[in-house]
Amino acid sequence: MSATKLAGLLVVDKPAGPTSHDVVKRVRARLQARAGHAGTLDPQATGVLLVCVGAATRLSKFLQAHDKVYEGVVQLGWATDTYDAEGVATTESQQPPELSEELVEAALQDFVGDLEQVPPVYSAKKINGEPSYRRARRGEEVTPKAVSVRVHSIQLLALEGDRIHVRVHCGAGTYVRTLAHDLGQALGCPAHLAALRRVSSGPFGIEGALPWDDLERGDGSDVAARVLPPEEMLPEWPAVIVNEEGATRVAHGGALEPNCIIDRRDGSSGRGALELKDGGGWVRVLEAGGHMLAAAELNPGGVLQPRVVLT
């Protein structure tokens, strides 16, 4: 596939240091193709960064909605203005109280479930159309509004003196930095997030990610070989396979008639296309060879309407 036609998903293991945009620029340079990330990682955070390539950048919004799993280290003793190790200390250094694993685990459980979370002042959360961190850096007073987030689970991995190692499974938009800050308050000691690694985003885990050195040193063909095709980007969605008439309709954004569909496949979530007959779901539209043509919404009455066309 030529660089101009290359489309899909590159899962990158981002190191500490580069911004998410730095990674995207490197991907663009290696592949000579359009690219964009599907969910920012802070510069000092590491791990899974999803980079959409070519026409598949149109699917980015769906990937951003995925649950995430992180492993992080909460440092007790002082808080910072960014809630992580990059910020300026906002408290005097304090000796943490004596903590047991049972006490820490009990405190962590208070942060599981549906929460109203206030994002850090230094975050990409937009206020009147501008990222909060830009306003803060100009010295403006910034008061981010609380947002609803979901934390599915928090597991205590280790308690090592003044450092708490945790594994967090959370919904999109959750700030682990804020969890670290708030955990410190719950334990009666200021705290910040000392380290963070994203180990998965939706179905894409760190074990399948492209190492940074391979992105830095590999040539375009090596990197292109690691790009997952669009039909593998949303495996949880059910799929329909269309005939040539259906493919033509999709290319022009037209609704798919039942006679255009020659087969159906369940998604990895177990949800089947036929289960969506009352509307309100998304479906991958594939041509006979298995390549993804579009993301379609199943409207009431069973009409499939392409919304994101990749051809």
pLDDT digits (tens, 9 = 90+) for 204-220: 999 999 999 999 987 88
| pLDDT value of residue 162 | 96
More confident: 133 or 263: 263
pTM for this model (two decimals): 0.90
Which residues are catalytic, by number?
A: 42
- Given a cut of 90, is residue 190 above it in pLDDT? yes
Which amino acid, 133? Y
* Segments in the chain forming alpha helices (H): 20-31, 60-64, 101-109, 132-137, 176-187, 212-217, 220-224, 244-251
CA distance 44 to 119: 17
DSSP readout, 143-163? -PPPEEEEEEEEEEEEEETTE
Mean pLDDT score of the chain: 90
| pLDDT value of residue 280 | 58
Complete domains list, the chain, with CATH: 8-64+203-229 (3.30.2350.10), 68-200 (3.30.2350.10), 234-309 (2.30.130.10)
CA distance 234 to 307: 15
Six-digit token pair at 27? 């991907």
pLDDT in tens, 55-76: 999 999 999 999 999 999 999 9
| pLDDT value of residue 3 | 47
